[in-house]
Amino acid sequence: MLRRLARSKLRSLLRFPKFSSSADIAEVAFFDFHNELPINSNSHLSILNEIPSDRIRGKDDSCKESEDSRVSTLVACHCLAKVGKLKEVRRILKQLIDKEGSGSATSLCGLLLNNFRDFDCDWIVWDMLANVYARSEMIYDALYVLSQMDSLNIQASISTYDSLMYNIRTADVVSDLYKGIRASGVSCSEYTHNIFIDGLCKQKRLGEAMSCFQEMRSRKELTLCTVIFNTLISGFSNAGSVDVAKSFVAMMFKYGCVPDRFSYGSLLHGLCVVGRMEEALELCEDMEREGMKLDVVTYNILINGFRLLGLMSWVWKLIHEMILKGLDPDLVTYTILICGHCESGRVDVGMKIKKEMLERGFQLNVITYSVLLNGLSKQGRICDVDKILEEMKAIGLDMDIVAYSTLIHGYCKLGEIDRALQICNMMCSKIVLLNSFGYGAILSSLCKKGMVVEARCILDTLTNSFQSVDVILYNMVLHGYVKLGNVSAALELYEKMLTGGIIPTIITYNTLILGFCKTGKLNEALNFKKTIELNGLVPTVVTYSTLMDAFCGAGDVASMLQLFDEMVGKAIMPNVIIYSIVMKGLCKQRRLQGAIDILKDMHMKGIGVDVITYNTLIQGFCEAQNRKMAFRIHNEMLQQNLTPTPVTYNFLINVLCHNGHTYWAERLLKALLDKGVKLRKFAYNTIIKAYCVKGKPQEAITLFEMMVTKGFEVSIEDYSAVINRLCKRHFTNEAMIFLNKMLLAGISPDLELVATFCSAYHYKNDITQLFALQCASAPCVGHDYTTYATVFTKLYFCGCKLVASGWSMIAIPQAQLFQGKASNLNRVDGNSTETTGTRNIIQASTSLTQDSAIEWANNDKRRLLHVVYRVGDLDRTIKFYTECLGMKLLRKRDIPEEKYSNAFLGYGPEDSNFAVELTYNYGVDKYDIGSGFGHFGIATDDVYKMVDLIKAKGGKVTREPGPVKGGSTVIAFVEDPDGYKFELLERSSTPEPLCQVMLRVGDLDHSINFYEKAFGMKLLRKRDNPEYKYTIAMMGYGPEDQNTVLELTYNYGVKEYDKGNAYAQIAIGTDDVYRTAEAIKLFGGKITREPGPLPGINTKITACLDPDGWKSVFVDNKDFAKELE
């Protein structure tokens, strides 16, 4: 009777939860009271039997309230349940559970079993207990209570199940619980289905969510309302399936449901995630037309969308719009803003925003700090990271797992393993478990550094402490062992994996196979391939490519082809890597026709042939000395729209040189350079060596200088290779020229090189040059007797006994023996001109201090001479500059043997005015200007008039004339036929109309310091424009209104630019190129062409790169004047 009374009261007091449309399926406000609670059901939910026993623990008696007290509390609950005061029952149980904490279910269930079996309302208290545990997110306790209820045949209410489902909806187990509820016969509430669909959406199981929705609709179990549609819209929008989400919005209208702010907000978020910002803005307009004012949350969604696209200018516009509408940016707004700047590398701006937030009274959360930590870590700013951590500690803000993982990952990328491990220890002390991502970062970083022993130690520690260790972490350490060639240790770890119950993946086996292949144990590698199949896994393309490449490298082409046939037989589709390996094997055996057949087969099967495939074929034919076929394959590459790599041309140049066609090799090299192809040093060295072998030292010297001018770093090995070949063919004078270049480059000759020279002089019986050699090399080799004894020994056993005796005498101090004279050191016999010989040696030993270098640069007679850049049609550009810009053609020359022409244009004579040097390379009609070059500046007294003239001539105006933003100076921008920009500035009469060259730099202060000290320029003015996020500095050798200046521009957060291949360099006059080069070296500049005369015209120059890689050429003033004459 009492039980029926309780049931009737429950029915009368039944209340259901409500969803808020603006929350995520709206934080279900679960029921204050229960549905009807049926008892004596024999249903059994399978999930309840799967509770891990170790997750349910009893409480120590010292940590509990006395048993009598808890029994009294439960008695009160039963009494209240009996009279229907279920809200009070829940409140009391909530207090009890909060006090007892997680893991208390065993003891409370024991009390109920032992003391309340005969109470009429016992089933209500059991159900309420499970419900309160579920709503308190103590999931394992709730499951334990349900398992006890199941053993007592007490059926839980649907509200308890709904509460439990809601809190585990993001886990896979929610499907089992849902199936169990339906199988139990309990009537599902309308929220049961909704929660389940929401869970599927949050797990990205969208197909199942859609099927479930349609199935429930067909069975009419689901009431179509705004909430269920919002669930689906949110799920599909978050996954990027925006079009599907839009279809649900249309379906809402069809079924009479009105989309609310949450509907629009979810769809807006989806559009922003996929970058469809135009549609997002249109949706906002629709919302406003529907009477929904855009709130801070909506603006934050839009701001984040533009942040994801890197469009920070739009972010600022939206924030400005917010403020105008009376909306104050909140913590989320500022965090998005900081994130955007940090992602673009402008961490300093992010730090400034953080400071502004604190000044405005914001309390930063762990997410904001995590964003800053990530940005600072990426830039290697460890000190700032430490400051942020101290700041968090000072305000009592604890880091979460994401912040810890971010910090650990950042430290690992910087190689700061010790700091990463300190963070791990800190987490352990705070009982925060690091996730697999964090440990993976540490193990990966250690293995990359070769510290596999340390990585293994961490892995073992994790395993021994019973922490969750997945196969990914094992695979990382395995790969570390294999990389070091320690296959035995890798196998031992593999065995430990098996013992520990870790199931190897295909990656595990592929790693071990790679280890066996690297150590030449190919039979063991094949056995492991069989192990893959025995364990139910399928070998992948990686498996076969690893094995085939190893057999190919070992020369066992037959086994390689057998593996190829095997994978094809197993329907494993070979990729381009597999085919390239087969080609390589066939080429090694000179089965070149077979390799060609493989290429044809790839074309027939539609497999995209890449550059590596063609390079493999070209290499095969080059090694077979079949240059005609090699070039034919190269031509086919071009027909397939594939761009040959420097390696391709290394093969072709090498085969030409090997066949004695050195002239054609150099012609090919120059043709490639004219086309802007970037070659490697190998190509130059190959031809240089070939010239040496063929007895053409002058050609070798010229090409070597070209290689240095291109900016390649030349090592002692490069010099030695040339000198050895020259000395072997008795070109000792030319070899000495290369030695001189070595000394000027600051490279010391080694004993082998000195011995080579001595052998050559012995052959020519030239003891005088031997002493000159000692004069040149003694500052580098030294005067200690051990060094000379070593040289003596090498010479003696080479048969150069006379020279060895002479060398043994040279241990006398150099100043006493030669008195600084070495006049014959670098004079070339025959028709060649005298080099800078003795002077260069003196220059090499001269050292400027930084102070004297600055003084020299400031007193040197310097001015900007001209700027050099490349154009696609010389006559067309000359016409534009003369007719539209008012320049004059000063001189023009054509060099057909070098296949280029150039022209000098300006507003006055070159001996007193700045000019432009236009270069046209035969056959090249287009260049890449890049993003680093900015513009040239032209001063005119009437910008409007000049723009009208340019328009009349068909010129392109990219910025109409008008005052500059924030100022009064009238400017305009135009483009020449090649796309170079010219800024027209309205300025009164000036002696230098061609007034500016603008280049972009990554560190303005560093560049200013370099140009002041190394180039002797003055900082004429500097202006920061924070509103437009850039700063400029004007550098030059005189007042800005009377001289051409260099305008350096820094855009906030941009450190590097693409320089393209169009802009070349600026030429600057100097009285001494040698001292200029030395001064530039002192201040960190890179000399790309050592000082000396240009072949043919004898104008002395030196070339260098600034910190950003912009090239400048210093020209001797007197030589330049002679050149103009």
List the strands of the sheet with 1018-1025, edge to edge: 956-963, 970-975, 981-986, 933-940, 994-1000, 1045-1051, 1030-1036, 1018-1025
pLDDT for 1113: 95
Please indicate whether residue 15 or residue 312 has the higher confidence score (pLDDT): 312
Spacing of C-alpha 552 from chain mean position = 34
343 is in an annotated binding site: no
Of the candidate ranges 803-817, 1052-1066, 1093-1107, the one whose mean pLDDT is the lowest:
803-817
Pairing mode, strands 1030-1036 and 1018-1025:
antiparallel
CATH code at 854-1124: 3.10.180.10
Q: Where in the chain is the domain with CATH 1.25.40?
A: 714-846
User: In the numeric block, which tokens belong to residue 551?
Assistant: 């057999």
The pLDDT value recorded for residue 764 is 64
Distance from chain centroid for Cα 990: 47
CB-based contact 198:235 (threshold 8 Å): yes
- Which sequence positions are flagged as catalytic? 983
Q: Is the pLDDT of residue 440 over 90?
A: no
**What confidence tens digit (pLDDT) does each residue in 223-245 have?**
778 888 888 888 888 888 888 88
Cα–Cα distances in angstroms (integers) from residue 546 to residues 318, 525, 529, 578, in the given order:
53, 10, 11, 9
Three-class SS state of 186: coil
The Cβ of residue 1099 has, within 10 Å, a number of other Cβ atoms equal to 16
| 64-116 pLDDT, tens digit each | 445 678 888 888 888 888 888 888 888 888 888 888 888 888 888 888 888 88
Residues 6 or more apart whose CB falls under 8 angstroms from that of 58 comprise 103, 106, 107
Rounded distance between C-alpha atoms, residue 540 and residue 530, angstroms:
13
Report pLDDT for 22.
29
Tokens linked to 367: 């997410």
pLDDT at 209 over 50: yes
Mean pLDDT of 486-504: 88
3-state SS record for 781-810: HCCCHHHHHHHHHHHHHCCCHHHHHHHHHC
The C-alpha atoms of residue 985 and residue 995 are separated, in whole angstroms, by 9
The answer, yes or no, to whether residue 54 has pLDDT greater than 50, is no
Report CA 203 to chain centroid distance, whole Å.
29
What's the pLDDT at 816? 34
Go through 127-161 and write b for each residue having 16 or more CB atoms within 10 A of its CB, e for each that does not.
bbbbbbbbbbebbbbbbbbbbbbbebebbbbbbbb
Q: At 50, list the tokens.
A: 């799967």
Is 983 annotated to bind ligand? Answer: yes
- Give yes or no for residue 10 having a pLDDT over 70: no
Selected residue with higher pLDDT from 1050 and 774? 1050
User: What tokens were used for 441?
Assistant: 């970062």
User: What's the pLDDT at 429?
Assistant: 59
Burial code (b: 16+ CB inside 10 Å, e: under 16) for 410-448 equals bbbbbebbebbbebbeebeeeebebebebbbbbbbbbbb
Give ranges for CATH 3.10.180.10 in the chain.
Answer: 854-1124
Least trusted range by pLDDT, from 49-63, 838-852, 930-944, 973-987: 49-63
What is the reported pLDDT for 799? 46
Cα 252 from chain centre: 43
Of 92, 87, 66, 67, nearest in space to 77 by CA: 92
890-897: long-range contacts (C-beta < 8 A, 24 or more apart)?
890/915
Encoded tokens for 343: 């992602």
pLDDT above 80: residue 595: yes
Fill in the DSSP letter of residue 154: B
Residue 917 labelled as part of a binding site: yes
Return the DSSP state at 988: S
- By the 8 A CB rule, do 1075 and 856 touch? yes
Which pLDDT score is estimated for 709?
Answer: 83
3-class SS of residue 519: coil
Residue 967: pLDDT band (50, 70, 90) is low
| Of the candidate ranges 181-185, 839-843, 1092-1096, the one whose mean pLDDT is the lowest | 839-843
Supply the angle between the helices 557-569 and 541-553 in degrees, to the nearest 10: 160
pLDDT digits (tens, 9 = 90+) for 1050-1096: 998 888 888 889 999 999 999 999 889 988 988 888 998 888 887 65
Q: Measured between alpha carbons, how far is residue 372 from residues 302, 346, 385, 415, 888 in Å?
A: 21, 11, 8, 19, 55
pLDDT value of position 774: 58
The residues facing 1050 across adjacent strands are: 1031
Q: How confident is the model at residue 53 (pLDDT cuts 50, 70, 90)?
A: very low
Report the pLDDT value the prediction gives residue 28, as an integer from 0 to 100: 28
Strands 915-921, 864-870: pairing is: parallel
Would you place residue 670 in the very low, low, confident or very high pLDDT band (cuts 50, 70, 90)? Answer: confident
**What is the token pair recorded at 142?**
């709730």
Query: Span 714-846: which CATH code?
Result: 1.25.40
Helix, strand, coil percentages for the chain (3-state, nearest 5): 60, 10, 30
